[in-house]
């Protein structure tokens, strides 16, 4: 599994207690079949019977396939068509049923991993996500991707204005630089990395 995740450039974030952040989650969903194949191969090597391997693959494939569809449609920064909204609605319902389904008895999973009900986020996906899309025609327009994309630009602007001592003036200057970037009048990268002035030794 680790080898398959490394090939797909999926990184487990230690500072998030071993969880996956957004880009890694999307890569995981996109490559979930390859990763499940790797897990099944490892299960066979450990002596699991074929019924257990098949049940493991089918159980997780039903969930991950729907999550992959839901992620793609919910992140689309555009108005969804009627067919896309129906596809999203069907994927949400199918995900809820698959996630709530009982684990096959042949799989010796620990009780701590067996859930009889959806998590709060899972409930939102199953019940409310498609309704939100029907009401507003989109979900991606309300996502956080745009704000997240501004973080590195905001950091550069803060670096450019950090020499201003007055906090109010520094804030206004940072906002002006960021606004110029958003309006397409980006400050050249060379201005973010100004060369230090050479020290001149005066000869007396």
The verdict on 157 and 72 lying in the same domain is no
Top-confidence range, 77-81, 89-93, 195-199: 89-93
Has residue 58 got a pLDDT over 90?
yes
* Residue that is last in its domain, among 144, 169, 193: 144
Has residue 114 got a pLDDT over 70?
no
The verdict on 122 and 196 lying in the same domain is no
Range of the domain at 30: 1-144
The verdict on 11 and 42 lying in the same domain is yes
The verdict on 184 and 135 lying in the same domain is no
Task: Give the pLDDT mean for 82-92.
Answer: 96
The verdict on 76 and 170 lying in the same domain is no
* Residue that is last in its domain, among 144, 169, 188: 144
Provide the mean pLDDT of the chain.
84
Helix axes 129-136, 50-74, angle to 10 degrees: 30
Residue 11 CA to chain centroid, in angstroms?
12
The verdict on 197 and 99 lying in the same domain is no
For the chain, what is the domain count? 2
Has residue 118 got a pLDDT over 70?
yes
The verdict on 80 and 95 lying in the same domain is yes
Has residue 88 got a pLDDT over 70?
yes
Beta strands in the chain (DSSP E): none
Has residue 154 got a pLDDT over 80?
yes
Task: Give the pLDDT mean for 20-40.
Answer: 90
Task: Give the pLDDT mean for 45-74.
Answer: 93
Burial group, residue 30, by CB count within 10 angstroms (0-12, 13-18, 19+): middle
The verdict on 139 and 157 lying in the same domain is no
Residue 188: the pLDDT is 46
The verdict on 94 and 165 lying in the same domain is no
CA dist 157 and 173 (Å) reads 8
Instruction: Kindly report the pTM of this predicted structure.
Output: 0.70
pLDDT > 70: percent of the chain: 83
pLDDT > 90: percent of the chain: 53
Q: Which of 133, 118, 16, 10 is nearest to 69 (CA)?
A: 133
CB 111 within 8 Å of CB 122:
no
Residue 195: the pLDDT is 54
The verdict on 119 and 194 lying in the same domain is no
Task: Give the pLDDT mean for 64-89.
Answer: 94
The verdict on 138 and 51 lying in the same domain is yes
Which string of DSSP letters, residue by residue, matches 122-177? HHIIIIIHHHHHHHHS-SGGGSSHHHHHHHHHHHHHHHHHTT--SHHHHHHHHHHH
Has residue 57 got a pLDDT over 90?
yes
Q: Bridge partners of 19?
A: 13
The verdict on 155 and 126 lying in the same domain is no
């Amino acid at each position: 599994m680790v080898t398959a995740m490394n090939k797909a450039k999926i990184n487990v974030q230690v500072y998030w207690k071993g969880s996956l952040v957004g880009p890694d989650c999307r890569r995981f969903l996109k490559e979930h079949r390859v990763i499940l194949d790797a897990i099944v191969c490892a299960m066979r090597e450990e002596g699991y019977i074929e019924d257990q391997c098949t049940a493991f693959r089918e159980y997780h494939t039903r969930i991950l396939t729907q999550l992959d569809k839901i992620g793609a449609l919910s992140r689309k920064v555009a108005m969804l068509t009627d067919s896309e909204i129906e596809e999203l609605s069907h994927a949400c319902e199918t995900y809820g049923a698959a996630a709530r389904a009982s684990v096959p008895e042949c799989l010796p999973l620990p009780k701590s991993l067996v859930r009889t009900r959806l998590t709060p986020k899972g409930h939102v996906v199953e019940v409310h996500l498609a309704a939100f899309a029907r009401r507003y025609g989109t979900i991606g327009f309300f996502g956080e991707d745009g704000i997240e994309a501004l973080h590195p630009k905001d950091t550069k602007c803060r670096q450019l204005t950090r020499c201003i001592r007055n906090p109010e003036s520094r804030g206004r200057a940072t906002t002006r630089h960021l606004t110029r970037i958003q309006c397409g009048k980006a400050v050249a990268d060379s201005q973010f990395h100004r060369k230090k002035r050479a020290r001149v030794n005066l000869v007396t």
